Structure 1
């Protein structure tokens, strides 16, 4: 279980810190919520405790996982999705991001960043790449105890873009 002060990742939103646990009435039932203060966008998020597993809330990765992320970002992934329509690819990428698995997120970034270098991404895919990078950078920023700019540079360096 999570506690106030824990740093966590909410897939599709990025890293945040548990600020409080509060009780509210939902559908005539008292329900406990975690209140997260997100590191990007100054956003507050309330998640019912009963839905934590469903939404994929997880602890920040340990520093030891950074090498694995770097390896995924450095490796040119064979993209077998090129023959699929862009909207189907988009859905596959979103599902990977929603999984909450940091390595799936890194894979989406790797594929889209390389695809963008070869052939311009569609507007939707470019926005998705930007969002995925922000989510990963918000977590890396916490793991490395740095700022968002430094985390983004780390991603670019791993992608060999820097």
Structure 2
């Protein structure tokens, strides 16, 4: 399914590289494992080859999919505004989406949190989820689109510049 040196995505961890495929005996059972090094933090994961699809290991999205996700971030027509939904419920929902095998789900969390920030100050947990979503989205888009991650992040921040400015104005008023 995956080859050595191939770039892959592990949900909630981000883009990694298959370093090798090892055969190991664990608990008396011999199995093959992908050894994946996550590029953003050098964490090494052992993913059972037989279970790779079930845990969500997948190829980096295609150029076309990357472009579609990037454009979906610009589209605010699906945002209905901050509804005052219970933070715990939203946190669980967003945490699950960050583990999704679909980059569009992760991008959805990023966009929602940016836009919710227009109506209210994000809590510490929300800001942490926003940062995690930003890292996951920008890293995969960078590889998908053949761009530098910092440039992708700058473009996304530019898309939401009005939101960021509004948040900064609110912070200045509270000081």
Q: Structure 1: give runs of 5+ residues left out of the alignment.
A: none
Give the TM-score normalised by the residue count of structure 2: 0.84
Residue 145 (structure 1) aligned with residue 146 (structure 2): yes
> Equivalents in 2 of 1:122, 1:82: separation in Å?
15
Helix, strand or coil at the partner of 1:64? helix
CA drift of 1:144 comes to 2.8
Deviates more, 1:78-87 or 1:100-109: 78-87
> Equivalents in 1 of 2:145, 2:37: separation in Å?
19
Q: Over alpha carbons, which structure has the higher Rg? A: 2
Per-residue CA deviations over 1:42-73 (Å, capped at 9, x if unaligned) read 22211111221221111011111233112321
Deviates more, 1:115-124 or 1:79-88: 79-88
Spell out the pairing of 1:9-158 with structure 2 (5 A cutoff).
9-76=9-76, 77-79=78-80, 82-158=83-159
CA drift of 1:35 comes to 0.8
Helix, strand or coil at the partner of 1:104? helix
CA drift of 1:80 comes to 7.4
Helix, strand or coil at the partner of 2:83? coil
Give the TM-score normalised by the residue count of structure 1: 0.90
Alpha-carbon RMSD across the aligned residues, in angstroms, is: 1.9
Question: Contact 2:60/2:144 (CA < 8 Å) preserved in 1?
Answer: yes
Question: Contact 1:70/1:158 (CA < 8 Å) preserved in 2?
Answer: no
Question: Contact 2:81/2:115 (CA < 8 Å) preserved in 1?
Answer: no
* Number of residue pairs the alignment of both structures matches: 162
